[in-house]
Every structure is written in structure tokens, then in C-alpha cells.
Structure 1
Amino acid sequence: MKKLFLLPLILLVLAVSACSNSAQQNNTSANTARTLEASGNATASDHTKDTITYQSEDGPIEVPAHPQRVVVLAGFAGNVMQLGVPLAGVTSWEKGNPRFAEALKDVESVSDEDLEKIIELEPDLIIGLSIAKNIDKLKTIAPTITYTYGKLDFLAQHLEIGKALNKEQEAQAWIDNFKSRASKAGEEIKAKIGPDATVSVIESSMKELYVFGDNWGRGTEILYQQMGLNMPEKVKESALKDGYYALSVEVLPQYAGDYLIFSKDPDADNSFQNTDIYKNLPAVKNNRVFEANAKVFYFNDALTLDYQLDFFIEHFLGK
């Protein structure tokens, strides 16, 4: 089976960068260098009058104690919004999240290559991934914090962002509440569907399907880590280690659990749902397929996790 590199946050950064126009990059590179030298450091210093020291994975860094214009170059916008901190720029992926549309309507779409645009936004803090481009240049614009994807679990990641935003107590309070709600819901779901029932999470993309492990967004962290629901053995064998696995429709019955969570991309080829193979799945026959919009379900930020938890409570328990 063909495997595809689908790391949600890394894909987010790479996809946004790949979509940048190469000609525009060439035309703006010289201007960017001059702008960084002339105004970048001044922009950063304007926002460091009231600071805290954050212990980043690269060492201590001075960041604003009360950031007001954060640029997020990875999938963390929902974490920042959940903590009530204003955003100035986010990636196009997050701008494309239907649930974030209203909150981000006045927030600019940027990538790690849009240096001049980021300068114009006058950020007081930049948050991204360690694989982002132009990190050294970004650091001359504003204090820049990067995270290595997968180094922290999804809850620890929210706590770290809370620390970086001087909102550690608020982040921990959300984590405690979320864990309590997820645990309670998990017990109720297991009592309803039975302790041995299995759940699979799939997603359509181009001509392939993907099944997911326990740490790849799409609600997998909640279902498997927090609620302790069962993963089909075939999924454990194929997707647990790498986080995902690409498969054809023909073998889908081997990976489909008693319940099926379908993260459905409305722009993808979903014709497999018209096949006899899909229609004859026990989950389909028993009306145990729960469809979610993939553009909402991709992420595992705090706001999306709240949405996913509510989604599972509604569909499994009817609440």
C-alpha cells in the first residue's frame, strides 16, 4: 500500500509554502532584506517593553507579557484563540476552517515566506514549527517561538502555548476540564456501544483513503487516548506507529470498525461511498457512520478538540 506524508501541521506549513508564487519570491527577496534591516528590529523592540521569559525548546526567550498581535505559522491558531489572545496573521489552512471563518475574518493569511507582509502586520509574537522557513529572519521581526511537531502531546502542546502567552493557568484549567469531560463521555459511550466495540477514523483524499492512529487529529486523540475506545487490530498494525495508513477501497472492510468516523473532504473524490464494498460495511448497514467536515476535523487545537468532543457526544450518545 502506498503511504503518504500527511503530518497535519507539517503538511500545513509545506502546503502553504508550496503555493507561493516563485516569481514573486524573486522580486521581493531584495526588498525584504532591506526592510528587515531598516525596520524589523525596530518593530520587535516596540513590543518588548513588558516581557516575560519563556523557556522554549531552543532556550529562554523574551516574549511580550500581554501579546496583542500574534502571527501563527502553524496549526496553533485555535490554541491562541481559546486563550483569548488576539491574532494578526494565520495560515491559509486555518483561514479555510469554516468554524474559524467569523473569528478570523479580519486576520491576514500569511506563510513563512511572506516576510514583508508579516512586517506590515507589526506582530509582537510569532509562533510556528521548527521546520518553518526564514526562522532567523522572522526573529528579527518579532520574538519567534517554534515547536517540533510531535515532541509534545496535544494537551501538553496547549499548555506550552499557554506558557508562551502568559496564560498558563487558563490553559491548565481548560486541560483539566477537557480531560474530565472526555473521560465522562468515554465511559458513557463504552457503556452504550459495549466494551469490545471498535471505532475507525477514515478520510478521503484524491483517489485514496486513509485510516488513522491515535495522534493524527481528526478526533483520534479523543477517541483512543482520552476515551480509551478500541481500534481495530488491522488499524493498530498499520496506522498506530506512523499515525496514518493509505489504503484502497477494496481492503476497507479489513480496517473498518463497528463504528466509522468519516472525516469527509467535500472537495475530494468521495465516490467510494457509492460502491458495494462501502455499502456492505457493517457500520454502514447499521447506520453507525458519523460524517464530519474534514476542513474542520483536521486539527487538534483546543477549539477543535472542544468541537470534536461535542461531535462525539452528540453522535454516539444523542446528546
Structure 2
Amino acid sequence: MKKIIMPFTLLLLILSACGGGESSGQELNGNDTITYESENGPVEVPADPQRVAVLSSFAGNVMALDVNLVGVDPWSKMNPRFEDELQDIEEVTDESLEKLIELEPDLIIGYSDIKNVSKLEQIAPVVTYTYGNVDYLTQHIEIGKLLNKEKEAKEWVDDFKERAQVAGEEIKDVIGEDTTVSVFENFDKQLYVFGDNWGRGTEVLYQEMELAMPEKVAEVALEDGYYALSPEVLSEFAGDYMVFSKVDDADLSFEKTDTYQNIPAVQNDQVIEVNAAEFYFNDPITLEYQLETYHERFLE
């Protein structure tokens, strides 16, 4: 089972040995810059960034490329998978202007909907991305370009796709080619079912492993990425297997109802429960964990 999952720390060591982040092989100094072609046009950024602040969910991408962080968004900060790496890193938002000034970042990264961009640009170069503008693996390659580590990013993407495909074939050999899987989450007193590009491991399950999605889920969740539903109709969207991304302290009383207990996936003990806080993102660190989790749980 473990033969297809390369430990992420080992992967980083291999990538570092293959050339660090400087594709030219030349030693960089702190004043060197490159021009990154962002969504909003060219931005001059450090060629070897040392103090990156992330205001959206790209912390895992930056860490995977072995680049130093000085500030991260609240969602990344509360991710248990990032706890050790981020324990001494400041929590920041697009409103944390004074704190960011103190942290002296040399690069700020966020989603395109962050506020105070003009003020943030007075602190450091700012690069933003629109969620879903490119697919999740291309997004990591873009982060690699931004951090002058495109080669490392591409190598990881190619390796991950290969390993995920192998895992998918092994899983389908066991559960069946046409066996369906659906992904649910209980968040803020609401249930959601997800399509194939909204984190929660959906990219791994559907895009890379190519496991089957229930037709009803495809009808309502593919375009927007998610669909809100009530517990009373959950069974209509349940696949042969259900992945349940659970939020701490959420109301799970519906699980005791006959409606839920009579769902075939529940009766057949084919519900895979995961910690939502660990599964939100689709960065390399999270994707590695999702791949390993699914490979183990489906083959149990």
C-alpha cells in the first residue's frame, strides 16, 4: 500500500537535491528580482523570496516549495496538518496592515478578492489569483513560477498525478469500476455535497483517481463546485461510498435518524470520515495526505 505514497519530506529532499529553486544554477543575492506575469499584469518580485506572507489558502504551496513564511491566513493557521510548521508563524489577513509592516514580507500572496491591495502593495509586491481560474495543479505550478521554483513544482505535479492514477486503479480493482463516491460536509448548520474541484479531496477522487460521481451530484454540484442540501434528501446524493468531511462542534443529530441510517453506504459501513480542517485545501501537502488517506481507507 505504501509503495505508491512517497513521504512528503523525502520528496522535498529529492527536489532540493535536484537544484533548489534556481533554475539557472546561479547564486542569487537578496536584491535580484524576476518579472512574474500575474492575472493583473507583470509584477516584479524577489528572485529568491525569504519572507512570504500568504493571505489566502496558499500556505501549503509555499511550504511544499521550501520557501520561508512570515504570515499566513487564519484557515491555514488552524489546519492541524500545518500545526508544527506554522506554530511560530503570525496569523494575518488583508486587514492586518500594521502587523504586516512589522513582519516586513518581501512578497504577499492572496486571492483576487482580498481587500486593501493598494495599501498592501506599499508593503511588498502583491500577487493575487482567482480561485478556479486554473486547475489546482496548474495553480501550484503558477506558485512555483512566482517563487522561482517552477521546475520543482512541475516535478511534484507529474509525480503526484502518476501516483494518484496508480492508487485509483488499485481502488477500482477492489471496489469496482462503476462504484460511486460522494463527498459531503457539515458546515455552519448546513450540509453540502461537492463536485470535483472544491477541495475536500474531490480533486484526488474524481480528477486523478477517476472514481465515479453519482449522476445526481454531477447535475447539481459540478458547475459551482458545491451544492447545499438538507439532511432529509442526503440519501438522494449518496454514492456507494460516502466521504464525510466533518467540522468540529457541528450538529450531527441527523446521523441518528432512520433516513440517514437507512442509506446503503451507512449500512454497509462504507462511510469515510475525515477532519474537515485537514481536508479543506488542495495544496501539495494536503493532497499528499488526502491521497494516502483515501488509498488506505478504500482498501481496508
Task: Provide TM-score, normalisation by structure 1.
Answer: 0.84
**Helix, strand or coil: the match of 1:141?**
coil
- 1:46-65 → structure 2 map (5 Å cutoff): 49-65=31-47
Q: CA deviation at 1:221?
A: 0.6
| Matched residue, 1:195 | 177
The 2-side partners of 1:219 and 1:160 are apart by: 20
Match of 1:66 in 2: 48
Paired position in structure 1 for 2:18? none
Instruction: Work out which of the residue numbers 42, 58, 64 in structure 2 matches 1:76.
Output: 58
CA distance in 2, matches of 1:134, 1:48: 27
Q: Describe the superposition over 1:153-180 as per-residue Cα deviations: whole angstroms up to 9, x where unpaired.
A: 1000000000000110110011011000
2:108 to 100, 112, 126: 126
String of CA shifts for 1:58-86, please: whole Å, max 9, x gaps.
Answer: 11111111111100000000000000001
Could you tell me which of 266, 279, 293 is aligned with 2:261?
A: 279
Aligned counterpart in structure 2 of residue 98 of structure 1, from 67, 80, 83: 80
* TM-score, length-scaled by structure 2: 0.89
Alignment of 1:38-53 (within 5 A): 49-53=31-35
Q: Match of 2:26?
A: none
Q: What are the within-5 Å matches in structure 2 for residues 131-146 of structure 1?
A: 131-146=113-128
Among 279, 291, 300, which residue is 2:282 paired with? 300
Cross-structure match for 1:22: none
**Residue 153 of structure 1 pairs with residue 142 of structure 2:** no
Q: CA deviation at 1:301?
A: 1.1
1:26-72 deviation per Cα after TM superposition (whole angstroms, max 9, x unaligned): xxxxxxxxxxxxxxxxxxxxx96111111111111111111111000
CA distance in 2: counterparts of 1:286 and 1:275, whole angstroms: 16
Letter in 1 for 2:130: T
RMSD: 1.1
Specify the code of the residue in structure 1 equivalent to 2:255: Q
Local SS of the residue matching 1:84: coil
Q: Whole-Å Cα distance in 1 between the matches of residues 34 and 214 of structure 2? A: 46
Distance 2:43 2:230 in 1: 47
Give yes or no for contact 1:130–1:148 (8 Å, CA) kept in 2: yes
- Which blocks of at least 5 consecutive residues in structure 1 are unaligned? 1-46
Q: Which residue identity lines up with residue 297 of structure 2 in the other structure?
A: H
- 1:66 touches 1:165 (CA, 8 Å); kept in 2? yes
Q: Distance in 2 between matches of 1:152 and 1:271?
A: 38
CA distance in 2, matches of 1:201, 1:65: 40
Partner amino acid for 1:281?
I
Q: State the alpha-carbon separation in 2 of the partners of residues 55 and 207 from structure 1.
A: 41
Asked if structure 2 preserves the Cα contact closer than 8 Å seen for 1:204 and 1:210, the reply is yes
Q: How many Å apart are 1:195 and its aligned residue?
A: 1.1
- Alignment partner, residue 156 of structure 2: 174
The unaligned stretches of length 5 or more in structure 2 are 1-28
The count of aligned residue pairs is 272
Cα deviation per residue 1:257-285 (whole Å; 9 max; x = unaligned)?
Answer: 00000001122111221111111111111
State how far apart, in whole Å, the 1-side matches of 2:188 and 2:44 are: 44
Q: Report the Cα distance in structure 1 between the residues aligned to 2:220 and 2:39, rounded to whole angstroms.
A: 31
Aligned to 2:250: 268
Letter in 2 for 1:103: E
SS at match of 2:81: helix
- Answering whether residue 221 of structure 2 is matched by residue 239 of structure 1, we say yes
Aligned residue for 1:63, secondary structure, equals strand
Separation of aligned partners in 1, 2:70 and 2:253:
39
User: 1 CA distance for matches of 2:30 and 2:101?
Assistant: 16
More helix by share: 1
Percent identity over the alignment is 65
- CA drift of 1:205 comes to 1.8
Q: Do the aligned partners of 1:48 and 1:63 also contact (CA within 8 Å) in 2?
A: no
Opposite residue 296 of structure 1, the aligned amino acid is E
Q: Deviations over 1:235-270 (max 9, x none)?
A: 011111111111111111110000000001122111
- Check whether the contact 2:217–2:237 (CA below 8 A) recurs between aligned residues: yes
SS in 2 for 1:215: coil
Counterpart in 2 of 1:40? none
CA distance in 2, matches of 1:131, 1:301: 19
Distance 2:189 2:124 in 1: 42
Structure 2 residue aligned with 1:117: 99
